[in-house]
Amino acid sequence: MNPYTIFADIVAGRAPSSKVYEDDDVLAFMDIRPMTPGHLLVVPKVAARSLAELDPEVGGKLFQVGQRLAAALRTSEVGCDGVNFFLADGVTAGQEVFHVHLHVIPRTPGDGFGLRGRPTSPRREDLDYLAASIRGALGD
């Protein structure tokens, strides 16, 4: 499968980006089509198409950098008073760029951003059944 994505070019400096953070493992830059002003993307420098391919240590760093950025967004001129993290893993989840990325989305009252969904209220036995299945899949 073709590993190329625009984010690989951004990491390599072959494509432009508005960077906000960089270290040996991670790059963060402004989303070119922001959901809200200040919307950031945090990406691993070593391309991974999916969470399954991502080094868990680097995954941890994505979250750590996201935490720092969330704090910076609150005190920057973005001036948000809330932040959402979002990560789409797979087509069905809405992933469009197949280089893992954490969205860091600043929130202000009435900004119109939100997750659509249909919450349900399953019975405890149904929750327990799926919990057991997921515990089994963890393989611990």
Q: Find the part of the chain contacting ligand 5GP (CB under 6 A) among 49-57, 73-81, 89-97, 111-119.
A: 89-97
Q: Supply the residues annotated as catalytic.
A: 101
Torsion of CA 135, 136, 137, 140, to 10 degrees: 80
The one-letter amino acid code at 74 reads R
Select 13 or 122, whichever has its Cβ closest to ligand 5GP: 13
Binding mask 23-62 for ligand 5GP (x = CB under 6 A): ------xxxxx-------x---------------------
Exposed e or buried b per residue across 59-72, where buried means at least 16 C-beta atoms within 10 angstroms of its C-beta: bebbeebbeebbeb
Strands 102-107 and 40-44: antiparallel
Binders in 91-110 for ligand 5GP, by CB under 6 A? 94-97
∠ at Cα 104 (100, 106), nearest 5°?
Answer: 160
> In terms of C-beta density within 10 A (0-12 exposed, 13-18 middle, 19 or more buried), how is residue 75 classed?
exposed
Residue 77 CB, shortest distance to ligand 5GP, in Å, is 19
Among 3, 4, 6, 127, which residue interacts with ligand 5GP (rule: CB under 6 A)?
6
Select 20 or 80, whichever has its Cβ closest to ligand 5GP: 20
> Where does this chain bind ligand 5GP (CB under 6 A)?
6, 17, 29-33, 41, 88, 94-97
